[in-house]
Amino acid sequence: MILLFGMELSNYLSVSTSTSIVVDRSKDGDFLRIDFNMSFPSLSCEFASVDVSDVLGTNRFNITKTVKKFPIDPKLNQIGPQFHPGPVPIPISHGDEDHDSVEELNGGAFALTEENFDRVAARFPIFVVNFYAPWCFYSNRLSPSWEKAATIMAERYDPETDGRILLGKVDCTVHQILCRKHHIQGYPSIRIFRKGHDIRGEEHGHHDHESYYGERDTNSLVTAMESLVAPVARLALDGGINNTSGTFNASMKRPAPRAGGCRIEGFVKVKKVPGNLMISAHSGSHSFDVSTMNMTHYVSDFSFGRRLPLNKLKEVMRLTPQLVSQGDHLPVKVYVSEHENITHEHYLQVVKTEVLSTKFHESVLETYDYTVHSNVVQTQTIPTAKFHYELSPMQVLVKETPKSFSHFITNVCAIIGGVFTVAGIMDSMLHGAMRMMKKVELGKQF
């Protein structure tokens, strides 16, 4: 009786669920959260952009409010704090309207190479460098005004006698090693180096400096350079240096990347319709050499749905521990570009699973499982990492099946009555057998 009662009690206390396939009744206008954590060893945080689009025509570019970026080295180690780009203005003027030939203006900006860059940078409190590419439209627009600005600043602050500022230039098609060392991925990139404020790591070769994002006509450039020079005292023979922080408009500059890679993590909310989440390099005032861009990426997390509070997570573990044990649906995986100019496309078929609990009288879990198929495509445009997601119109519904206490009591009573009945029958049979054996024994004696 005790054994049967224990088995019945265990069955009553166990969780019973039923599974069915139903139509997804999500309301029109509901949003779906996508969490992600991905590392791009060869994509700079300066230009990395998270974009979202869908079949309804929604297009959101360079999402920053819910996305964090961290500079990383080729081994995926974080270099320094979070990258805070701030507002990125698009210059209205990319150069002077009167385009003088670059040949006539050559000589204003100091030509830099791998051999002289560090030596020249160590001489000047303010060292501003234009990293350019001759094939780039924006670089060609900037070149005349940059040469003019360099000439004007050299006349006002003679590099030999004053020594407060120098404007230089680097041709990245010739000095590729130097440009890679400074993590140049978009052209033109104007970098501001301050003597005494640059940090160079032997292992990673990173620098603490800023990128100039202001207007690119001669007058604007000269005004910006003057604001940089203003706080710097004139150098005497002893080379004394005062504060070099500069005071021009903060919107005209932003931190330069400290490493050539970027870890992108955060979330976006999208409509529950087929769409795309894309990560690539974007800029309204730079050009990119697509033949050198590598979109190799490591996926640490890519999941759909909201995060659960602790109390509901415990309830889910009680009802469907197999769902919780799955964890993040996409394991850590690397998608390698065998060569540059490769776009990675991931196709995700997403199915919603909803768990209903009698304890909370509501849905305690909405999880999204998916299958993924990946492909690589060689492209002539800027390569991207594209995640195309498509939600199934059907969903899996898991319900907890409640067990009646009256049914449990009835079964317990049945156990008690049944045990007594069976015991009585067995006792009667045993007693009858004993009497028969005694009669047989008496018969033999007489």
Active site residues: 136
Collapsing DSSP to helix, strand or coil, 152 comes out as helix
- Is 369:350 a contact under the CB 8 Å cutoff? yes
Measure CA 76 to chain center: 13
The bridge status of strand 384-400 relative to strand 342-357 is parallel
Measure CA 381 to chain center: 22
The bridge status of strand 67-72 relative to strand 48-54 is unpaired
Measure CA 343 to chain center: 17
**CA dist., res. 228 & res. 223, Å (int):** 9
Instruction: Classify residue 256 by burial, with Cβ atoms within 10 Å: 0-12, 13-18, 19+.
Output: buried
**CA dist., res. 366 & res. 112, Å (int):** 58
**CA dist., res. 262 & res. 82, Å (int):** 10
Angle between helices 218-229 and 137-156 (to 10 degrees): 50
**Who's near 384: CB < 8 A, 6+ residues apart?**
278, 279, 280, 295, 343, 344
Eight-state DSSP code of residue 95: S
Angle between helices 405-445 and 2-13 (to 10 degrees): 160
Collapsing DSSP to helix, strand or coil, 19 comes out as strand
- Is 114:152 a contact under the CB 8 Å cutoff? no
User: In which region does residue 62 sit, left (phi positive, over 0), alpha (psi from -120 to 50) or beta (all else)?
Assistant: left
**CA dist., res. 219 & res. 225, Å (int):** 10
Residue 266 phi, psi dihedral angles, 5° rounding: 145, -150
Q: What is the greatest pairwise CA distance in the chain?
A: 148
Joined together, the tokens standing for residue 406 give 């009256």
The bridge status of strand 17-23 relative to strand 384-400 is antiparallel
